[in-house]
Every structure is written in C-alpha cells, then in structure tokens.
Amino acid sequence: MKIMTKVPEVQEYVKKLKKRGNTIGFVPTMGYLHEGHISLVEKAAAETQKVIVSIFVNPTQFGPNEDFGKYPRNEKRDLKMLKATKKVSCVFMPDRAEMYADDFATYVNMENYMTGILEGASRPGHFRGVTTVVAKLLNIVQPDKLFLGQKDFQQAAILTQMVKDMNYPASVVICPTVREKDGLAMSSRNTYLSEAERQEALIIFKSLQMAESMIELGEHDAEAVLKEIRRKIKEANVEIDYVEAFDAITLKKVDKFTEKSVIAIAAMVGKTRLIDNTIIEIKI
C-alpha cells in the first residue's frame, strides 16, 4: 500500500496504472475511518482492479462555527485499518497547502436547489466546499468509479449531478449505510458522544424504523409520517434540525411517498450534529 502526499506523484502513479490496463476505484474520506468507510473500500475492490483512498479533512466545507479544529483525526489508525484490508493500492494524504495553495481562487458551485436545502440550508457554503474538493480529487485520481455512502444521501446526489454536469469519465456507486449493532449509523462524529448521548442518539434510527412500519401499513401521506417522527424525537429531548421527505432522484419534497423516496433526519445530540436517512420504496 503506497502512501502519497503530493499531487504529481499520485498523477504519475495513476498514469502507470492505466497504462497497464487497470481500472481504478476511488474512495474519498476525511479520515477517522470506521467500518462504513471500509465497506466502500471492499465494494471498490470488488468492482475495480486498483483502489485509491484519500484522507483529507477539507477546510472549505466547514462553516466558521463548525468543528473543523476538533474534527477527529488519527492517521496512524486509519492507515492500519486500510492496510489490514489488503485491498488498497494507494492512500493520498495531502496537507492543506497541497490542495489549496495561497493563491487558490477557483471553486465549483452547483447553482440549483439541491445545494440550498437540508444540509445546505443548515450549513451555508458547505456543498461548495464538497463539490470543489471532490472535483479536485477526481481530476487528480482520474478514477473509473467513485464510491460514496448512502448516509450522506444529499451529498451523494449532488456529487452524482456534478459528475454528470462536468462530464467526468467516472460512474458513481452509492453504497448502503453501515450501522452499529444497535442501529446507530456509523459516523466519525460518533466519537464526540458521551455514553448517555450515545444512547439518546438511537432515537434517530428508531424513528426511521417507526416511519418504515407506518408506510408498510399503508400510511403514504408524507406529513403524517414526518409528524410522528418529530413527535418521537422531541419526546426523547433531542433537538431536531430537520425531518424531511423527498424524491430520491430530484431531492424535491414529496407530499405522498412515491416509488422511491427518502426520509432524512438531522438532529443535535448534545453538541453533536448527526444525520441519517432511509430509502422508502413503494411498488406501484
């Protein structure tokens, strides 16, 4: 497993891989890896011949009052986890100066409603940072396939649109959310939670399970389901940022659950902001 920190060395390495006829799978991360990230690596290894993982805590996607400074980092642990898979060919670990030179001035900004709702509404400028860094990474790595997680559903949808709009020669593969045994969606931010908060956080998953049950029993009115989710979360004294239902492709709000919809939740557990979602599929 090669470890690289400079853009030119990654580009040269990729050039050699492609010259030998290898297909490349790419998994972008911000480090502090967990089994969710490893599942993306496993999927990439199953579908491509060489897997490249990036570890970079991207400063441009954090707002001024967000947790960039305290975002968990443990590069030694991350590398150990990736090496243990025996499926990663290269890890790209640039520093801030390598990705954003002092004279950096070009950003990728998606100008449609997708970036202004949900996470975009709560975190202004967040998606400009996400699209910019992933665009840069795609240019550097030149992968055949980009592997993303369903937990960040809106982000995955936006990046899928960006790949299409910008004609990147890569396909996007969205992989299922990986959960702890009790159902909590795996997240690097889970490390912020105290033991008590960790238990409180389960209400997010439990409310999604409740919603799935309501829909299976025939309740297809979106607001009726969302109302019950909000009630359940508030009863647990967890602060809600948003609870929304939207179309899985367009991200536009739905009044009735359609063939493929998504229910997404963002909530504050203590001082930690957590997100989760579930895909609703109804046979029509």
Does the pLDDT of residue 86 top 70, yes or no? yes
Counting the structural domains of the chain, the total is: 2
Segments forming the whole domain that contains residue 98: 2-175
For residue 248, being part of any structural domain is answered with yes
Q: Residues 84, 152: one domain?
A: yes
Does the pLDDT of residue 284 top 80, yes or no? no
Does the pLDDT of residue 14 top 90, yes or no? yes
Q: Phi/psi class of residue 55: alpha, beta or left (left: φ > 0; alpha: ψ in -120 to 50)?
A: beta
Q: Residues 95, 230: one domain?
A: no
Does the pLDDT of residue 165 top 70, yes or no? yes
| Global confidence as pTM | 0.95
Residue 60: partners with Cβ closer than 8 Å, 6 or more residues away: 100, 107, 125, 128, 129, 132, 133
For residue 83, being part of any structural domain is answered with yes
For residue 180, being part of any structural domain is answered with no
Does the pLDDT of residue 282 top 90, yes or no? no
For residue 181, being part of any structural domain is answered with no
Q: Residues 195, 147: one domain?
A: no
Q: Comparing C-alpha atoms, which of 114, 96, 107, 86 is closest to residue 30?
A: 96
- CATH of residue 119's domain is 3.40.50.620
Catalytic residues: 37
Give the residue from 175, 209, 231 where a domain finishes. 175
Q: Residues 141, 201: one domain?
A: no
Q: Residues 45, 130: one domain?
A: yes
Q: Residues 164, 231: one domain?
A: no
